[in-house]
Structure 1
Amino acid sequence: MATVILTAAMVYEVLARYVFGAPTVWAFDIAYMANGAVFLLGIAYVLREDSHIRIDVLRNRLPARFNHAVQGGLYLLILAPFFGMLSWIAVSHTLRAWRSGEVETVSPWAPLVWPFYLCIAIGLLAMTLQLVAEGLRAVCDLGSAAAKDRP
């Protein structure tokens, strides 16, 4: 949905600016908010689909058991707590902005920022949950890789 909003806003802005000679005051705000939402709402999906870019030259030469242990430990002990903390901060910022009616102060349009903060919070929460799921999956795969190594 954020991609559709971003695309529609940019097409409208280009038409308004170059065809009608009347640029909008809101296009920049919609563009950065929708772009941020697309990015943050998509990172958990990309992790689930195992589509993140990584260099597998070393990883492919190491035993599967070691790779699962490193990935499980990294996801569960470092990344999930880090993203959990970021999620907590994002949720608290969202609630504060919603309660206070905070607006974007550097924009002539001055939109409310809590919807954008909410997208950030949802994306970070989804990433945290996906990191936990992938970490647990790696730990479970660690057990199955160890069983395959036994004679």
Structure 2
Amino acid sequence: MSVLLALSRAIDRVNEFIGRNVAWLILASVLISAGNAIFRKAFDMSSNAWLEVQWYLYGTAFLLAAAYTLKRNEHVRIDFISNMLTKRTRDWIDLICHVIFLMPFAVLIFYLSLPWVYKSINSGEISANAGGLILWPAKIMVTIGFGLLILQTISEIIKRYAIIIGAIPDETEIHDLPPEVEEMIAGAGRVDGKGGAGK
């Protein structure tokens, strides 16, 4: 287990570094979008290349940060239902869903993207828009993004199993909220006899 946990920590460090740094691509995308809009309105000038650059940057940030989002446990979940379950049940659901759903999906997209990207690079594929950019840099982000997501899924499976067997504490649990807020969250799914929320 110690070797697996070391692997998990290494994967976490890589995705933490990437996730924190690609956030700047969103700022770049917003600035390019604003600049493009200003030039279009003020000077009646526009460029498909600049439009595509902002799409590329946004798509890259989204794809490369997906693994970081999973690591931070910030992905969308149905909290109302989740909070009605015991901690151990939630851990088992996370572990099973990572193995049965997330991992096969990520591996499938990664696998299917390989010939798609290879063909784009080999052919020198260019956007069909006038003045558009080459496409393979954007397409290869799909492969890299899902590759990182596969690695992070492996890390999450290792950590979730280690948590279930008590080898490590769960660092994603909320510890810094006031006790009354934690109690309110924990009791969100309970209803008292009068039909109000349980206290």
TM-score (norm 1): 0.83
Letter in 2 for 1:79: L
Structure 2: runs of 5+ lacking an equivalent:
1-23, 168-199
Match of 1:52 in 2: 75
Q: Deviations over 1:21-73 (max 9, x none)?
A: 21223232223222221211111111111112322223223232222111111
Match of 1:132 in 2: 154
Identity of aligned residues (%): 21
Structure 1: runs of 5+ lacking an equivalent:
146-151
Deviation at 1:80, TM superposition (A): 0.8
Match of 2:94 in 1: 71
For the Cα contact (< 8 Å) 2:33–2:54, is it kept in 1?
A: yes
**Separation in structure 1 between the aligned mates of residue 27 and residue 123 of structure 2, nearest angstrom:** 29
Match of 2:184 in 1: none
Q: Which has the larger radius of gyration?
A: 2
**Separation in structure 2 between the aligned mates of residue 39 and residue 135 of structure 1, nearest angstrom:** 22
Q: Deviations over 1:75-102 (max 9, x none)?
A: 0222112111101222332222111111
**Separation in structure 2 between the aligned mates of residue 92 and residue 128 of structure 1, nearest angstrom:** 18
Q: Select 2:143's aligned residue among 108, 111, 121.
A: 121
Matches within 5 A, 1:1-150: 1-105=24-128, 107-144=129-166
For the Cα contact (< 8 Å) 1:76–1:136, is it kept in 2?
A: no
The structure where helix makes up a greater share of residues is: 1
Letter in 2 for 1:120: V
Match of 2:183 in 1: none
For the Cα contact (< 8 Å) 2:63–2:141, is it kept in 1?
A: yes
Match of 1:149 in 2: none
RMSD, aligned α-carbons: 1.9
TM-score (norm 2): 0.65
For the Cα contact (< 8 Å) 1:87–1:124, is it kept in 2?
A: yes
- Ranges of 4+ aligned residues in structure 1 off by more than 3 Å: none
